[in-house]
Chains A and B, each alone.
Chain A
Amino acid sequence: MSGHLWENLRISFSSILANKSRSILSVLGIVIGVLSVTLMGTMISGLDATFERSMSSFRSNVLFVSRMDWFGGDWDWWEFRNRPRIKEEYGEKLRVQSQFVEAVAPATERSGRIIRKDRQIDTRFFGTTPEYLATNDAIEIAQGRFFTEGENRSGSRVLVIGADIKDALFDNQDAIGQYVKIGNHKFRVIGVSGKMGKFMGLFSLDNQAIIPFGTFKRLFTRRGWMNIRLKVDGDRIEEAKEEIRGHMRVIRGLKPTEDDNFALNHSSTFEAQYRAIKLAIGGTGIFITALSLIVGGIGIMNIMFVSVKERTREIGVRKALGATQRTILAQFLMEAITICFLGGLFGMGVAYGLSTIINRFFPSVMPIGLALGAIFLSVMIGIISGLIPSSRAAKLDPIEALRYE
């Protein structure tokens, strides 16, 4: 049988090569199917890697007291509009009242432009307290220092800039001690944060500047968007959440019948949202893949019927020369498998090429298991769609087949 295997492989290749354009057209469905499944998988795994990296800046032990839920809270926009703002003092109250809170940092944010001489960059800046460092594990001060409590309280005009801002305004020069302008206000650069990359491939975490909260309050609006970062015991997040919610309700003076008019966000809500997105992408991918593989399988079956018909006489001759039904079945099955295997291989090659191109814009790596799975799948398609035409070939009556014109 193994001798036949090589022989059948040889026959398959010569048959495929003899009908090149036909083979290519018929295998297109398989190619597209494998292409979409590998590409989709590549994207998802790239998304995973990006997500993991991005999530580290949120640290799972940080709770955010915010005005609104990050994702799909069941509030209506007017209800949200009427919610009271988050106040800085909540942080201090929670620090005192909660047994879980280890560090507190209010954070407020706005976008603006930083100017240095003839250079400028559009960026976002945060106003926060020195404790911010304790609530964000991803940030790291690469050069210089973070601001102090004294600077915060006195509203000093100092700032810590992200790596991208430093590159844009200072190139390779030392930025520490240099002055930049935000609007009409002069700020002294006291620190540069290390590279953190992009958040979900969307915006750069390195294009942001951090200024003392006190300074932010003095120079910019006090009524801006704010949240309070609370570092809590990472192993008891849910407990901490419940306890803090209780304290917040008291702070807000809510009656038991009233709904929360604030939100407690946690990175897990990101994860849940991400999982939903991933499922949607994966589901679409599986649907497209299944569809194109079914179409591809039908194409293969069709071409195998044609191939069997065309070679009826050859089948008759082979039978006369001693080929058994099994031998003929194996021959045609091998042809279907070979064509699908080559199609799968080709589709994967194209997907790999595309993934390296995509990788320039968006992190994407083709998982090897997925690649092998896709090849395996195309071989299975070959077997399934080749079975009926092959068994028809195997069952041909040798006399009729020999007489076939």
Chain B
Amino acid sequence: MSILIKLKGIKRYYDVGGEVVRALDGVDVAIDHNEYISIMGPSGSGKSTLMNMIGCLDSPTAGTYEFEGELVHDMDDNQLASIRNRKIGFVFQTFNLLSKATALRNVEVPLIYANIPRSDRIERAAESLEAVGLGDRMHHKPNELSGGQRQRVAIARALANKPSIVLADEPTGNLDSKSGVEIMKIFDDLHGRGNTIILVTHEEYIAEHADRTIHIFDGKVKEDIANHNNRREPVPT
């Protein structure tokens, strides 16, 4: 497998009221294509910062970040926007859908920023929604959908541009356990179909879906281990 993401000596310091906070303090991570990874850590450990870094929302204070050969740490805002648009699919804990837009319109958004013509765009958005089993809910607005369905819309949106990685931040955090199971099944399926997936979570049973778990503590990688359990086992409820 070829290397997809390579972070080397990544540091991210914040200046908070004259005091330097070392959110990330020298992180080395390499991720291959079609890996299924979970990032774990207590709050304040730096896992959110790492996720933002991987998601190209943040730039490192020091260190190098290579994404499919592109040097992300050197990029300006517009280039980062472009990387996020083309290569990263975000799934948020709170879904973050546009409340006034239909499911289809929500999924169209990243395609619009990719300058894809309207007819293509609608077709691809619809395809994406069908892939998460929402073919019959395309014209519903978020408030007409259940939590699980909303998160599926968000996943469809993340997949619309056929990204290199799907980056999910506590994707089941706001869902009941039944919906959570459904969502995790979708991630498992996506991985099965060749997608690279990174889950950020503090739930052990969510992390267990992944093949590899990276533990972050105090801004450093504390553990980076392969999971040996069969993730296809039923998730405890």
Bound together, the chains give a CA A162 to CA B98 distance in angstroms of 73
A contact residues around B96 at 8 Å (CB): 313, 316-317, 320, 402
Q: Does residue B84 face the partner (Cβ distance < 8 Å to A)?
A: yes
What is the minimal beta-carbon distance from B107 to any residue of chain A, in angstroms? 10
Question: Which of the residues B58, B113, B117 comes within 8 Å of A323, measured between beta carbons?
Answer: B113
Given contacts A4-B112, A7-B112, A402-B96, A321 and B117 within 8 Å (CB-CB): no
The interface centre, meaning the residue of B85, B112, B115, B161 with most chain A CB atoms within 10 A of its CB, is B112
Given contacts A4-B112, A317-B98, A322 and B84 within 8 Å (CB-CB): yes
| B window 70-113: CB within 8 A of A | 77-78, 81-82, 84-86, 90, 92, 96, 98, 100-101, 109-110, 112-113
B contact residues around A399 at 8 Å (CB): 52, 57-58
Whether the Cβ atoms of B78 and A318 lie closer than 8 Å is no
Question: Which of the residues A3, A320, A325, A327 comes within 8 Å of B55, measured between beta carbons?
Answer: A320
A contact residues around B209 at 8 Å (CB): none
- Dominant secondary structure at the A interface: helix
Question: Which of the residues A3, A322, A325 comes within 8 Å of B86, measured between beta carbons?
Answer: A322
Q: Does residue B118 face the partner (Cβ distance < 8 Å to A)?
A: yes
Size class of the B contact interface (CB-based, 8 Å): 20 to 34
Whether the Cβ atoms of A327 and B113 lie closer than 8 Å is yes
Whether the Cβ atoms of A14 and B118 lie closer than 8 Å is no
Whether the Cβ atoms of B78 and A325 lie closer than 8 Å is yes
B contact residues around A398 at 8 Å (CB): 57
Given contacts A317-B96, A402-B92, A322 and B118 within 8 Å (CB-CB): no
- CB < 8 Å A-B pair total: 63
Whether the Cβ atoms of A3 and B78 lie closer than 8 Å is no
* Chain A: interface residue total (CB-CB under 8 A): 23
Q: Does residue A314 face the partner (Cβ distance < 8 Å to B)?
A: yes
Q: Does residue B3 face the partner (Cβ distance < 8 Å to A)?
A: no
Residue of B nearest to A327 (CB): B113
Q: Does residue A202 face the partner (Cβ distance < 8 Å to B)?
A: no
- Per-residue 0/1 for A1-12: is the Cβ within 8 Å of any B Cβ (1 yes, 0 no)? 001100100000
Bound together, the chains give a CA A15 to CA B101 distance in angstroms of 11
Q: Does residue A324 face the partner (Cβ distance < 8 Å to B)?
A: yes
Whether the Cβ atoms of B117 and A3 lie closer than 8 Å is yes
Question: Which of the residues B81, B92, B98, B110 comes within 8 Å of A314, measured between beta carbons?
Answer: B98
Q: Which residues of B contact A (CB under 8 A)?
A: 52, 55, 57-58, 77-78, 81-82, 84-86, 90, 92, 96, 98, 100-101, 109-110, 112-115, 117-118, 157, 161
In the A-B complex, the 6 residue pairs with the closest CB atoms? A322-B85, A322-B113, A321-B110, A324-B81, A317-B96, A320-B90
